[in-house]
Amino acid sequence: MLTLSARRCVLSQRKSPLNSTRGHCDTAPPDVLDRVRTLLQLCADRYYISPGESNSELFRRGWSCSYGPLGVELRRNLLQQWWHSVTGSRAWVFGVNTVSSSPDREAGGARVIESERFQQILDQAELSREQLIQKLNRLLLSSPSVRTSLLQGALEQFAPSLEMVNKKLPFGLAESGLCFQPSDGSGCSAEVTQTSLVWFCSPRSSSQWLDHWARHRLKWWRKFALSPSDFSSTEVPENELEEKTSRGVKILYKFPWGLESLETLGCRGDAELLQTYKGIRTKLQTRDGRKSIPHVVSVSGNMDRGAMAFLSNSLQQLRTEDGKKRLQQRKVLKLHPVLAPVKVALDIGKGATVELRQVCEGLLQEFLEAKISAWPGYLEAVPTSLELLNAKYDEMGVLFTVVIGEKTLESGLLQVRSRDTTVRETMHISEIRNFLSKYISAADKF
């Protein structure tokens, strides 16, 4: 349940910059600000997002930002899992793709306007004030408007899809893609990578389907979590429901600064379908014998915020003592094996550098062919201690670190260190690929 204080926190959070989150959430522990800063710093240092304050702020708000290579891979993995889970969950869920801007979709919202044509009109000195306004209005209305969600596109795909499913309900249309959020006036782009499942079903079953998908989605989020209880679902109170929605459920994540919504589900009735097809009921009729129009259940997620939720969820901070009994803080990004952007890092120990690098090159190729994403640490020239190296890879969330040393050249044996257990094992070079493949696919199935 979204408690009142938590709801206040979400609301205040939307307007307030990072520095003012402390104090707003009465449920938040005093070290909130530290935890947020640590998370954002780690994400920038370890190639999840590009450095820079304004980029971190986009990221924290749950918007699409400049991602570094690890962030890109994390979001790719997440989107891929979502796609498989939604299109693979039922026989009749189909993927669609609609264009992000369209000439006649919405009257309001944002539009893509050609600067040159705009400028040309402003430059026409012979135009009176009224003529100028008229021309500009025409330009505005003829410019394509950008989508704020994937719902409308899916509704437009309903009729063409009916034939494919032999006019039978229920069925669903899935899509992921970029959507534009209404600007906050800062000139700051607000793009979000949304996922959408639009489910068409009979009117009497729509509430049950809402429950079905809410359970399905919460289970999915929790599957990849280190602390599953940070993900929750809540019924949207009646007075907070969107227009045209008779029931709603939200999947929430407990960020250090409060609860935020990752996915929104709603029973939307038939009004929007009818509106899309200009009330022509014959276009919407299905085979179920009755004359009723299908009802729509929408499931809409924000995968930029989703990626951030898993980063936040998987960051563990452990206090350990080093060799000289000094207290140190170890940060580990314990991302789920399926989501972790780098599965294995390859490094060299002491020994003949040229030969060791050749072994690494060969092993890297093997990993790439098996589609195991690998980090070529052996290319970094800066000599670093194994301790520092492990700390770095732990912060990157690298599942395993392989060190190739003199022994490997002699006997084919190498050292494999696990992120989660910190245990070092000795393994033969011929076994490592299979070991990793099996580890990852076992984690996918649990």
Identify the residue among 228, 351, 376, 405 touching its own copies (CB under 8 A).
Answer: 376
- Counting contacts by CB under 8 A, is residue 101 touching its own copies? yes
Binding mask 343-362 for its own copies (x = CB under 8 A): ------------------x-
Residue 69 beta carbon to its own copies: minimum distance, rounded to whole angstroms: 4
Identify the residue among 13, 60, 153, 293 touching its own copies (CB under 8 A).
Answer: 153
Cβ-contact 151, 173 below 8 angstroms? no
Identify the residue among 198, 293, 339, 364 touching its own copies (CB under 8 A).
Answer: 364
Cβ-contact 311, 256 below 8 angstroms? no
Instruction: Report the half-sphere exposure of 386 (CA within 13 A, side-chain side).
Output: 13
- Counting contacts by CB under 8 A, is residue 280 touching its own copies? no
> 152 or 234: whose CB is closer to its own copies?
152
Cβ-contact 48, 65 below 8 angstroms? no
Evaluate the omega torsion of the peptide bond into residue 29 and state whether it is cis, within 30 degrees of 0.
no
List the interface residues with its own copies, window 228-267 (CB under 8 A): none
Residues belonging to the chain: 446
Q: Helical H runs in 143-255?
A: 151-156, 158-164, 206-223
Identify the residue among 11, 112, 280, 388 touching its own copies (CB under 8 A).
Answer: 112
List the interface residues with its own copies, window 60-89 (CB under 8 A): 64-69, 71-73, 75-76, 83-84, 88
Residue 146 beta carbon to its own copies: minimum distance, rounded to whole angstroms: 6
Report the amino acid identity of residue 435: F
- Counting contacts by CB under 8 A, is residue 4 touching its own copies? no
Q: How far is CA 129 from CA 114, 126, 140, in A?
A: 21, 10, 17
> 318 or 368: whose CB is closer to its own copies?
368
* Cα 223 → chain centroid: 15
Q: Which residue has the tokens 């409308």?
A: 152
* Cα 79 → chain centroid: 7
- Counting contacts by CB under 8 A, is residue 129 touching its own copies? yes
In angstroms, the CA 173 to CA 198 distance is 5
> 157 or 415: whose CB is closer to its own copies?
157
- Taking the alpha carbons at both ends of the chain, their separation in whole angstroms is 28
- Counting contacts by CB under 8 A, is residue 148 touching its own copies? no
- Of the candidate spans 108-116, 231-239, 332-340, 402-410, the one that interacts with its own copies by CB under 8 A turns out to be 108-116
> 161 or 292: whose CB is closer to its own copies?
161
List the interface residues with its own copies, window 32-61 (CB under 8 A): 47, 50-51, 58
* Cα 388 → chain centroid: 30
- Counting contacts by CB under 8 A, is residue 146 touching its own copies? yes
- Of the candidate spans 24-32, 109-117, 348-356, 417-425, the one that interacts with its own copies by CB under 8 A turns out to be 109-117
Residue 167 beta carbon to its own copies: minimum distance, rounded to whole angstroms: 9
- Counting contacts by CB under 8 A, is residue 437 touching its own copies? no
For every residue of 282-324, DSSP letters joined together read: GGG--SSSS-PPPEEEEEEEEHHHHHHHHHHHHEEEEEEE-TT
The set of residues, in sequence order, having a beta carbon less than 8 Å from that of 267 and lying 6+ positions away, is 206, 207, 210, 245, 246, 247, 248, 295, 296, 297
Residue 89 beta carbon to its own copies: minimum distance, rounded to whole angstroms: 8
Residue 251 beta carbon to its own copies: minimum distance, rounded to whole angstroms: 23
Cβ-contact 209, 190 below 8 angstroms? no
- Counting contacts by CB under 8 A, is residue 219 touching its own copies? no
Residue 258 beta carbon to its own copies: minimum distance, rounded to whole angstroms: 25
- Counting contacts by CB under 8 A, is residue 99 touching its own copies? yes
List the interface residues with its own copies, window 162-181 (CB under 8 A): 164-166, 168, 175, 177-178, 180
Both structure tokens of 32: 């909130």
- Counting contacts by CB under 8 A, is residue 115 touching its own copies? yes
